Each structure stands twice: as C-alpha cells, then as structure tokens.
Structure 1
C-alpha cells in the first residue's frame, strides 16, 4: 500500500517508521532542513531522538508531492498535525485539488477558536468527503518507535476507510481495533489530556495514590457525561480511546500533559513549562474549550474547571484541590 504521513513530529515519525516496515511510505515535513536531516541520518533528533527509522522510509518537503503519493483509491493519507494545524492542512489539500480518497487524522483536542472536534473541522473543509476517520488510543510515540506493543482504534463511518487503516497499521507489534463512534473517540482523546494535567498536579503535590485513583475515576465520569451529550456512546469511554488513553496519559512518565501538571504543582509558571517542554501539550490548548462546551450544555465538570482555574486564572494548585475537596457530597 502507498501511505503518506503528513507531519513529522514525534507521533507522525513513529507511525511512519512502523508503516515503512511493510508499505511504501512517505513522511512529509514542512521544514526543508528537517527533511534533509531525516534523509541523511534516518533519525528525527528533534522529536524522537535515538529511534532509528527504516531505510525504506522516504521523506518529502513538497506537500503536493506527498499528497500525490496517497491519491490512489487503495492508498492512505495519515494526518499527523496538532489540532491547530488540521484546518490549514485540509484547506491546502482542497486548494491544491489533491484530496486523497482515504484520510485518517491523529490529533486529539478541540479547535480552540471554534470549539469544534477534528471531524467537524474536516467536514467544513472537505464537505462530502466520505472516507475519513480518526486513529486514536493509548500510545506514546517513543514506545511505538521502539517497536513495543500498542493497541489503537480507528473510528470512521466509512467501512472502506476502516479497512484501509487496518491494512496499513495492523502488523508487527501494533494491533488495530475498528469502530464507528467518531465523536466518542475524539471526545475521549481531547478530555483525557485535561484530566492528565489534573492528575499530574495531584501527584506533584504528593496527594498519594488514593487521590490519583479518585481523579482518574471521577475524571472518566466527566469525560463520559460530555461525550454522551455530544453524541458519543457510553461504552466507547470504557475502551481504548477513553479509559485506556486516560490511564496512560494520567500515569505515564512520558506524558507531556502529566508533566505540565507536575511542574505547575512545583510552582513553575505555565509559560516556562511550555517553553521547556518543546512539544505540544494539547490539554493546555483545549482545556478552555472543554469547559466552555460543558457550561453551554450544563454539564458538571469540576475537575476540568479546577484545571482551567490553575492554568488561566492564577489559582494555586493546592487551592484548586482544596476547592474540589469542599464540594458537597453526592451520589456516584
């Protein structure tokens, strides 16, 4: 199969490396210097240092050329940009009149300005495109790059898109599950990042494992309430893209969002944390959107509200935790 991966961050690079062990794969990056470096070293030192990429993987700085690689009906285009880059990239596809037949995206979050989920953004930019979907699940790029086992879910209303994605990715140490609950998968991927910040704050304050378990469990309840209200199915949130991704992101040492929370608990400013991180922490980007949507639908999301208070309102992490503990008792 011909596969084009658009975006050479850590996750795009790791997945391109996996794909290239079996398929004719091109990895696109907008940075000419990065493409030259990848071509000469077969390592993405900027985003995935120390992970050797397959010699068969090819690199491209020209977006049109990368899209051409994925135009065949049996090909697949994998969009590996952050949420903020999703609309510009799909608009560029449309303007270039090079829209692949089968497209999946990897980003997790809500678009900050519009509060739209990724599939809604894609629907606006590629109206009527039938074969697209989201690939998501509990996964750290470094572990995938190291060929460690991972399980992901592709969600699409198109059986053809699900089949193409399964054929591309389901081999080696990667297992792919399929479904059609795009909304549920995307809400899980977005909200778990916010909850991981909360768990990082709790761990950074030394609140203990009991508190961590409570945050994850009650956070899952928040995620599910929001997702079902927006049209997702409740059972999706107990699967890989809900509970699975939440557990990984809230507890794993490779989690950027968890790291943000722990650093906030240590008293560092958000600007300093993000400057030193060097990667996108989507939980910071989409936390306000999640809270705004919850309020618009009268959905109670106290953990999300506490995270936003710390991130954007100057509330001290310990004070935010105290406010959560003072909440009235209620039925589970």
Structure 2
C-alpha cells in the first residue's frame, strides 16, 4: 500500500488524538481532526493549540479541525479513531454513513465496552459492517500523549488480522521518534491496553497509601498474570501480552505520574472519594469503566482476577483500601503459575 499521498482523518481531539494528529502532521500529512467541543476547534484554528486537552503544544497548520465528523472521515484512506471507549459505539455509528469502501480504520482507544464486553475494533467492525474485518487495526503501547507530542522517543505496536494492513499502519505512523512494531493479535493488543489501566489504579492506590515499593512491584507482576488469564481465555497470544501492548504499557501506566488512572488510584489511596475525583477531571480515566467490564467479563468466563476484583470492590462497592490489601494478602497459598495461561 502506498502511503505517500494517504488521506487521513483523525476522530477525537483529546490529548492522545491531538498528539497523534500532530505526529502525522509533522510527517507532512494534511489531515482533518474531528473535535467534539466547538471551543477546541476555535482554539486550534486561532491559536494552533488545544488548550483544554494538550496545552502548551503548538499544532502544525496542516491539522484542519472540524466539528463535522462527515467532513473528517469522508473519502479518507485511513481514519484514526481516538475517543473514550464508552463513546466508541455512538461515534462509529456517526462515521458509518461517511466512511468510504476500502478505508483502513485504526483505533488508539483503550477499553472494553461495559454491556457487550467488546473491544474497540469489534465495536467498529460491528457498526461499520460493510468494511472487511481486516480493515480494522489497533495502535497501542507505552505512550503518554504529552511525551509523543514533545517528540520523546516512543515505541508501540500496530495490529490487525491482516499483516498487510498492520504494516501499512506501521509505515504511516513510524518516524524517527515514534517506532512501530507489528503483531497479528488485535485481541491481545487490546486486552493488554485495557487491563493495564485497571492495574494502574491498583498501583496508584498502593502508592497513595504509602505502602512502599515492594507492593507495587507485586501488583504489576501479578497484574500481568491476570492480564494473561483473561487474555488467553479470549484467544490472545501470551507473547503479545509479554510485549509492548502488555507488559510495556503496564509498566508505564503503573509507574508514571502522567497516567490518569494511576493518579486517580493514588488519590483514592490518599482517602478521596471516586465521585469527587471524577468531578474534578476533564479527561477520562478509562480504567474506571474498564474495571466494571473486566469484573463482569471475568465472572461470565470463570476467570480468577483477584487484583481487578478488589479494584472493582473499592470503586463500586465501598470497600476500604485496607480491607482489599488484607484480602489479597490472606488468600489461599498456591503455585505461582496456577492459572496463568488458562484457556
């Protein structure tokens, strides 16, 4: 596939969508950017800055903001969708009437839908049902939006059921500061990207309680175990979860202060209430909604996820963080590899 004259639309003007739009624009692509908020469109048009979601980053002139999703996705070779996971179904429905046959649709959103337990590519494929399944791809990995926007060296993975599509996406996004690998496992790539946010909340809680470094290391390690349990049950390759979209993203999100999910968890560990934290946040902490999805999906599939379960109890059932630590530490003793690769 030729990338030289690729027509691109980016759907989603949050921090991550804006950062990826800037990356593509810096490569020379002329692209349309759909933003929900009229004030964000005006800021970009007048000041070349998204002051609400990515302040202090100058955006190139070849990013054309719009509040009209039809203009942004019509007659495009590639459409990148970067909206909160709970908005994906509605946005995909809006896109359907404008997407051209043959368009490659890439999602960089991370989450699992609450009601259906579908991944983002599954939602897109269901709503935009005239495109072949291999036209949907995912871009995921350890990447904070601000660092990408500031050209900090970053490495991620692109995945589709078609190697040709994965490599097309790889070539579109790769540049000297943004290296893209490919894999053939969109399910594993998305499960890793979603579940790491839940574990990051747990890691933040741990640090908010000032428990020390030992517990955080244990949470990250056993969180990867839980990622493997659920992922392999859904058909993921465990090697994917040992890579950029799994352990790579897990490490970043559980240890980086730029992580919204880690920060939310830290505030809970310090004694703040979830509703109060969310009311003060303009950007979405995806791990909150994903916690509910992961909990319900694990019960449906019979997969044991102790850490994710305890995050659910803290967020939605009023459990104290002290109680959750005690429950985790006093579970029955077992072999370290028990159930690691359940399928």
Question: TM-score category by the smaller chain?
Answer: over 0.9
Shift of 1:69: 4.9
- Within the alignment, does 1:274 sit opposite 2:278 as a pair? yes
Q: 2:11 aligns with which of 6, 11, 21?
A: 6
Which stretch of structure 1 is more off in the superposition, 233-242 or 82-91? Answer: 82-91
Q: 5+ unaligned residues in a row in structure 2: which ranges?
A: 1-5, 337-343
Task: Tell me whether 1:31 sits opposite 2:37 in the alignment.
Answer: yes
Aligned counterparts of 2:96 and 2:205: Cα–Cα separation in 1: 42
Using the TM superposition, give the Cα deviation of residue 68 of structure 1 relative to its aligned residue in structure 2, in angstroms.
2.1
Q: Distance in 1 between matches of 2:239 and 2:125?
A: 25
Partner of residue 341, structure 2: none
- The residue aligned with 1:144 is 148
Conserved? CA contact 1:196–1:249, under 8 Å = yes
For residues 88 and 176 of structure 1, what CA distance do their matches in structure 2 show?
29
Corresponding residue SS for 1:277: coil
Tell whether the 8 Å contact from 2:73 to 2:99 is kept in structure 1 after alignment: no
Alignment check: 8 A CA contact 1:90 1:125 kept: yes
- What value does the CA root-mean-square deviation take over the aligned residues? 1.3
* Alpha carbons 2:101, 2:130 under 8 Å: kept: no
Aligned to 1:320: 324
Q: Distance in 2 between matches of 1:178 and 1:100?
A: 21
Alignment partner of 1:226 out of 211, 227, 230? 230
State the aligned residue count.
Answer: 328
TM-score (norm 1): 0.96
Question: CA 1:273–1:100 in structure 2 vs 1: closer, same or farther (change >3 Å)?
Answer: farther
Give 1:99 shift: 5.7
Matches within 5 A, 1:46-125: 46-70=52-76, 75-96=77-98, 98=100, 101-125=103-127
1:15 matched to 2:17: no
Partner of 1:77: helix, strand, or coil? strand
Cα drift, residue 165 of structure 1 = 1.2
Counterpart residue number, 1:263: 267
Q: Taking structure 2 as the reference length, what is the TM-score of the superposition?
A: 0.93
- Say if 2:196 is the partner of 1:192: yes
1:109–1:132 Cα change, 3 Å:
same
Residue 185 of structure 1 deviates from its aligned partner by: 0.5
How far is 1:208 from its partner?
Answer: 0.9
Structure 1, unaligned stretches of length 5 or more? Answer: none
| More displaced stretch, 243-252 vs 83-92 | 83-92
